[in-house]
Amino acid sequence: NAGVTQTPKFQVLKTGQSMTLQCAQDMNHNSMYWYRQDPGMGLRLIYYSASEGTTDKGEVPNGYNVSRLNKREFSLRLESAAPSQTSVYFCASRADTDRVDTGELFFGEGSRLTVL
């Protein structure tokens, strides 16, 4: 199993450009999450999705949009990138299937975004 896969791993954008970060999990989990982590800081929740077709705002949703395309995929879109969005973005899925919820999060390797 690949677990949680994020693409791209690195990206440099200019202010005002748009891009989408892709995330896919192959563990049949219901819930998925997007976090950002600035240098030396903890993780902050951007958006999460408790199930296919539903999304909810986290702590810092402004400037982002998300799409839960299907059970496997949860994408994060920056419509007009700003330097303040320079960060490492982590996608995670939660070990909650239709039968059990251990609450454990599985993280991807991260996507390092720089906005100039």
Partner 1 sequence: LAKTTQPISMDSYEGQEVNITCSHNNIATNDYITWYQQFPSQGPRFIIQGYKTKVTNEVASLFIPADRKSSTLSLPRVSLSDTAVYYCLVGDQSWYSSASKIIFGSGTRLSIRP
* DSSP 8-state secondary structure symbol assigned to residue 41: -
Please give the residues from 20 up to 49 whose contact with partner 1 meets the rule CB under 8 A: 31, 33, 35, 41-45, 48
Cβ–Cβ < 8 Å for 95, 106: yes
- Find tokens 């600035």 and name the residue: 38
Strands 87-96 and 101-107: antiparallel
Residue 5 to residue 32: CA distance in whole angstroms: 12
Closest distance of CB 12 from partner 1, Å: 17
Binding mask 58-97 for partner 1 (x = CB under 8 A): xx------------------------------x-x-x-x-
> Which residues here bind partner 1, judged by CB under 8 A?
4, 31, 33, 35, 41-45, 48, 50, 56, 58-59, 90, 92, 94, 96, 99-110
